[in-house]
Amino acid sequence: MKVIGQSRRRVDARAKVTGQARFADDLALPRMLFCKLLRSPHPHALVRQLDAGAARAAAGVALVLTGDDFTVAYGIMPVSQDEYPLARGKVRYVGDPVAAVVAASEREAAEAAALIRVSYEPLATVASPEEALRRPEPRIHDYGEGPNVHRLAHFAFGDVESALANADRVFEDVFFYEGNTHLPLEQHASVAALDPDGRLTLWSSTQTPHYVHRELARALDVPAHRIRVVATPNGGGFGGKSDPFNHEIVVAKAALVTGRPVKITLTREEVFYAHRGRHPVLMRLKTGVKRDGTIVAMDLETLLDGGAYGSYGAASTLYTGQLQTVTYHVPRYRFRACRAFTNKPPCGPKRGHGTPQPRFAQEVQLDKIAVGLGRDPADLRLQQIESPGALTANWLRIGTIGLKACIERVVEGSGWRERRGRLPSGHGLGLACSSYLCGAGLPIYWNEMPHSGVQLQFDRSGRVTAFCGATEIGQGSDDVLAAIVAEVLGLEAGDVRLVTGDTDVTPVDLGSYSSRVTLMMGNAAIQAAERARAMLAAAAATRLGVPAERLAFAERRVFDVENPAAAMTFQEAVVAAEVAHGTLGTTGSYRPPRSAARYRGGGVGPSSAYSYTAAVVEVEVDATTGWIRVPKVWVAHDIGRVLNPVLARGQVEGGVYMGLGETLMEEQAFRRLPPRLSSALVHRIPSILEYKSPTSLEMPEVVTYFVEEPDPGGPFGAKEVGQGPLLPVAPAVANAIFDAVGVRVDEVPITPDLVLKGLEEKAKGRKPRVGPAAFPAVPWPEALVVPPPWEGGDGKAVNEKAQSRDVLPTAHSGTAGVKV
Amino acid sequence: MKSGSDERLARIALKVNGERRELLAAGYKTLLEVLREDLGLTGTKHGCELGECGACAVQVNGEPVLSCLLLALDCDGASITTVEGLARGPELSRLQAAFADLGAAQCGYCTPGILVTAQALLDRNPRPSRQEIAEALSGNLCRCTGYLQIFEAVEEAARAGAETTAPAAAGREVS
């Protein structure tokens, strides 16, 4: 292959190194107005009165919008449409917007916003899921599966109780993974304007222009065909720009009302309030094993702190358990999950969406199991990797699995066999593995249309233009599209012109989330390009007088493989094809295969393929200060096929970096003000300076290995690389700290004070373990009983009716993302 | 639509990427705002406007500074180099080319600030060590790359020759 697998300059590199990439806030339009949001200073309050008179009369002000201007609720998941662009009667977290001011300048908008008088009646606040379970009133929302409980789930894939009772050993631990946020360098920004025909256009830093398109139409009550959403290049996303946002709907409305372009750019503090980041999750994991450490059953409970709104929570909840079965063979599995509402910015999807937390639990516990049974942690894993092509206990169909090779690479590279347990005091090695999906098997809203579409257009100049709704967020989706089309047509990646992420002109791609773009867009691109190649080949074959099947496309030429002299340029082939077929264009599309999981809730977890990762992390722990330094990481990723090694490596290193950040320092944490200040819950650190993230000085050396075993589900065999490599980092660090100083830290972030606490416990002869003590009582619903494939199941629940009453009591359930 | 607050405009003369620019701007405007809003040089980014992220870095008289913390008025008479001033016409500078080739720019948002900061480093230290590069860039956050490909790109540009000096540097010498 000429393009695929070659290290190349990405197609959008020039724009990015010259400052010409146009991000949303770089757009300026004539007569543009600026919008500022007035946000609630209370975490939970009724809005009794709002007086915007003075703001409306202020200099420069063109428009003030309030909750009265928006009557339709929206939200990314059809099962939890619980947001309004501006609060209607109630605010639910510090930062919840209550009004918007649109003025001639950003400064005037901000000054006028300060003139709005809002009378609040503060309500008692809910700070944690434990508190939400204890405190039914006041309710944050009037929907959910319990007072202040958003979602509950309970699945029994086989009889776990009896399997645990018969296990040689049962290991039980409680873990906690703190919330953290994406911290994209680009603050969210949007510009809305009416085009000359009066149609609405929104340019926005969004990862999901198609979903924004749908929600704008709903929330504004404007036909979708009169709305255009253009995803500008995202200055980092990581999941944080995947929801339709209040500010997007507000500026769109303001443009409709004023007839003028309206821009909003969030301040950094506001980005912390927009959030939708990693859920804090408390977990209890019970695993039964045979004497040699082979898993016989796993029982997982998760408790998610959802924050104030639904966001992706219905899916996040299920992701805290559904992917636990695809790495090692788990014969029986029980999974219970609860997502509570709290008065904090809403949590949502961040890189790894719902899975880094239970992955941390599983991989740290496996390390404990290995130590407890006197086994090497690498061997313990190698002996029970799930089989390629397997159907798991929860009915997920696995494709290729390169995990064995991944473990072998990092074990060899790190000198694991020789060095683990033998390093000087304070130095340690830890190993962990993981897997991730390559695109969610189902769309957010139920439909049977393609998940990704690609359209190719051919010009007589020989130029090919690829149109696709996919969204460039830095991960290189544009480069993947160009490379795949170029490979099939024998061109260079730079020969392909791209039009992406524009709902007016590109076929739908569902967006840059769930690591779906390379696989889904890639397959659609192959189909479109192969259809075009067939048309070009037919025309060229006639001109050259050779059978079409003997023609090859390479180096911008079309030629007879048996007689390369019989050839024409690619451009001549395009001309010949236009003569033969008329105006040239093709389409391609992709929809994931039907899942074997037929139970309610089984829509979360299925994917066309799964990637695998193994990592070894080396740490140095200072026993006096507790300070943790990570000098080196070895990471091996089963990517199926590397499309562009430069970009793939960048994704792995970026994932390791982000994983280290969450493991060692990042936390989206809150504190309660004293009662005289309303006991309000405020963000402890809504600034980049105080939200610690790794700088260039903290980044360790990273040795990256790729395992390439092409997966039949992926384009040229490719699987995802954007999210998976983050997952093993946190547990590998925790396991390395145990190797270094003999302390178990069962929570994230692992900060020096926790390590010191563990060392103190150890010095006192107590259990050298730091972490959460208990898992609270949760009113679990009756289990949805789904027999595993090897116990005679058919992928359906044996008691679906009993369960469906409990799981989705809210409206719109027919369009749930979790529906099968 | 004038606000009641003080909007008196100050005359500011800057040399931006080798070109003399004179403008009238409100005295409270930062160099970042003047570059982006008054001069249309949107290549320079903002990530916090509090001096915490490094996205807005530009060179002022050859030194990397955070343009969000500097009043434009205080730069009167200074030479400013932004990312738009790094290329030689249509030709990328060695540093830009290395960033493009080696994956140092993913989303590209921190890239302009990192490029001008790294260029300033190379201008004073043509063969920096890995540690010196990491220290020079420690005020520029990047959330995509994990920094390693950025380090490699700076090293590659250094290796590629002493003439990595940006054309804008030459521009600074034009009177």
Q: A697 contacts in B (CB within 8 Å)?
A: 134-135, 138
CA-wise closest residue to A208 among A484, A16, A24, A473: A473
Task: Tell me what pLDDT residue A331 has.
Answer: 98
Q: Give the separation between CA A469 and CA A517, rounded to whole angstroms.
A: 10
Q: Is A809 on the interface with B (CB under 8 A)?
A: no
Which two structure tokens, joined as six digits, stand for A348?
Answer: 């949502």
A481-522 per-position pLDDT tens digit = 999 999 999 999 999 999 999 999 999 999 999 999 999 999
CA angle at A248 for the pair A53 and A310, rounded to the nearest 5°: 100
Q: B106 contacts in A (CB within 8 Å)?
A: 474-476, 650, 654
Q: What one-character DSSP code corresponds to residue A819?
A: -
Which class for A511: exposed (0-12), middle (13-18), buried (19 or more C-beta within 10 A)?
Answer: buried
The answer for A451, left when phi > 0, alpha when psi is -120 to 50, beta otherwise, is: alpha
Buried residues in B137-152 as b, exposed as e (16+ CB within 10 A) = bebbbbbbbbbbbbbb
Q: Do A12 and B108 touch (CB under 8 A)?
A: yes
Residue B174 has pLDDT above 50, yes or no: no
Taking the CA of residue A546 and the nearest CA in chain B, the distance in Å comes to 40
Q: B112 contacts in A (CB within 8 Å)?
A: 19
A243-282 residues touching B, CB cutoff 8 A = 267-268
Comparing CB atoms, the residue among B99, B138, B146 nearest residue A653 is B146
Taking the CA of residue B97 and the nearest CA in chain A, the distance in Å comes to 8
Q: How far is the CA of A242 from the CAs of A128, A312, A586, A592, in angstroms?
A: 24, 9, 29, 21
Percent of chain B at pLDDT > 90 equals 87
A18-77 residues touching B, CB cutoff 8 A = 18-23, 25-26, 28, 58-60
Task: Tell me what pLDDT residue B105 has.
Answer: 98
Q: Is A186 on the interface with B (CB under 8 A)?
A: yes
Which helix (H) or strand (E) segment is A39 a member of? strand A33-39
For residue A456, what pLDDT band results from cuts at 50, 70 and 90?
Answer: very high
A732-786 per-position pLDDT tens digit = 999 999 999 999 999 999 999 999 999 999 999 999 999 999 999 999 999 999 9
By C-alpha distance, the chain B residue nearest A651 is: B145
Q: Do A186 and B109 touch (CB under 8 A)?
A: yes
Q: Do B145 and A15 touch (CB under 8 A)?
A: no
Residues 6+ apart with CB under 8 A from A804: A600
Q: What is the mean pLDDT of chain B?
A: 91
Which helix (H) or strand (E) segment is A804 a member of? helix A800-807
Q: Do B3 and A10 touch (CB under 8 A)?
A: no
Task: Tell me what pLDDT residue A817 has.
Answer: 34
Residue A117 has pLDDT above 70, yes or no: yes
Task: Tell me what pLDDT residue B141 has.
Answer: 98
ipTM of model: 0.96
Residue A816 has pLDDT above 60, yes or no: no
Backbone phi and psi for residue A74, each to the nearest 5 degrees, phi listed first: -140, 175
Question: What distance separates the 2 farthest-apart alpha carbons in chain A?
Answer: 89
By C-alpha distance, the chain B residue nearest A704 is: B148
Q: Please compute Rg for chain A using Cα positions.
A: 27
Task: Tell me what pLDDT residue A676 has.
Answer: 67
Which class for A138: exposed (0-12), middle (13-18), buried (19 or more C-beta within 10 A)?
Answer: middle
Over residues B51-75, the mean pLDDT reads 97
Percent of chain A at pLDDT > 70 equals 97
Comparing CB atoms, the residue among B40, B111, B151 nearest residue A16 is B111
Mutate to test the interface with B, among A185, A260, A660 (most CBs of B within 10 A): A185
A570-607 per-position pLDDT tens digit = 999 999 999 999 999 999 999 999 999 999 999 999 99
Task: Tell me what pLDDT residue A804 has.
Answer: 45
By C-alpha distance, the chain A residue nearest B96 is: A17
Task: Tell me what pLDDT residue A682 has.
Answer: 82
Is the preceding omega at residue A752 within 30 degrees of 0, hence cis? no
Q: Do A186 and B107 touch (CB under 8 A)?
A: yes
CA-wise closest residue to A528 among A449, A465, A479, A443: A465
Residue B5 has pLDDT above 80, yes or no: no
Q: What is the mean pLDDT of chain A?
A: 95
Q: Is A187 on the interface with B (CB under 8 A)?
A: yes
By C-alpha distance, the chain B residue nearest A702 is: B148
A155-206 per-position pLDDT tens digit = 999 999 999 999 999 999 999 999 999 999 999 999 999 999 999 999 999 9
Task: Tell me what pLDDT residue A590 has.
Answer: 98
Q: A236 contacts in B (CB within 8 Å)?
A: 107, 109, 143-144
Number of inter-chain CB pairs under 8 A, A vs B:
188
Task: Tell me what pLDDT residue B162 has.
Answer: 56
Taking the CA of residue B123 and the nearest CA in chain A, the distance in Å comes to 18
CA angle at A28 for the pair A25 and A32, rounded to the nearest 5°: 110
Q: A647 contacts in B (CB within 8 Å)?
A: 103
Task: Tell me what pLDDT residue B166 has.
Answer: 47
Buried residues in A202-225 as b, exposed as e (16+ CB within 10 A) = bbbbbbbbbbbbbbbbbbbebeee
Q: A59 contacts in B (CB within 8 Å)?
A: 1-4
Residue A541 has pLDDT above 70, yes or no: yes
Task: Tell me what pLDDT residue A814 has.
Answer: 34
Task: Tell me what pLDDT residue A330 has.
Answer: 98
Q: Where are the alpha helices (DSSP H) in A601-751?
A: 645-664, 729-741
Buried residues in B94-115 as b, exposed as e (16+ CB within 10 A) = bbbbbbbbbbbbbbbbbbbbbb
Q: What one-character DSSP code corresponds to residue A146?
A: B
**Cβ atoms < 10 Å from Cβ of A449:** 10
A427-456 residues touching B, CB cutoff 8 A = none
DSSP letters along A676-706, please?
GGTT-EEES--STTTS----TTTPPEEEEEE
Q: Give the separation between CA A94 and CA A680, rounded to whole angstroms.
A: 8
Q: What is this structure's pTM?
A: 0.96
Task: Tell me what pLDDT residue A542 has.
Answer: 98
Residue A810 has pLDDT above 50, yes or no: no
Q: How far is the CA of A196 from the CAs of A199, A223, A261, in angstroms?
A: 7, 17, 12
Over residues A251-259, the mean pLDDT reads 98
Residue A806 has pLDDT above 60, yes or no: no
- Output the CA torsion sign for B117, B121, B123, B127: negative
Q: Give the separation between CA A394 and CA A392, rounded to whole angstroms.
A: 5
Taking the CA of residue B174 and the nearest CA in chain A, the distance in Å comes to 22
DSSP letters along A165-197, please?
HTSSEEEEEEEEE-------SSPPEEEEEE-TT
Task: Tell me what pLDDT residue A494 has.
Answer: 96
Q: Do B109 and A111 touch (CB under 8 A)?
A: no
By C-alpha distance, the chain A residue nearest B28 is: A107
A669-725 per-position pLDDT tens digit = 898 877 766 566 888 889 999 999 999 999 999 999 999 999 999 999 999 999 999
By C-alpha distance, the chain B residue nearest A472 is: B107
Q: Where are the alpha helices (DSSP H) in A71-165?
A: 106-113, 129-134, 160-165
Which two structure tokens, joined as six digits, stand for A667?
Answer: 């936390």
Q: Do A695 and B41 touch (CB under 8 A)?
A: no
Q: Give the separation between CA A468 and CA A450, rounded to whole angstroms.
A: 12
Q: Is A650 on the interface with B (CB under 8 A)?
A: yes
For residue A119, what pLDDT band results from cuts at 50, 70 and 90?
Answer: very high
- In this structure, are residues A770 and A743 in contact, taking their beta carbons and an 8 Å threshold? yes
- In this structure, are residues A250 and A67 in contact, taking their beta carbons and an 8 Å threshold? no
Cα-to-chain-centroid distance, residue A48:
37
Q: Is A666 on the interface with B (CB under 8 A)?
A: no
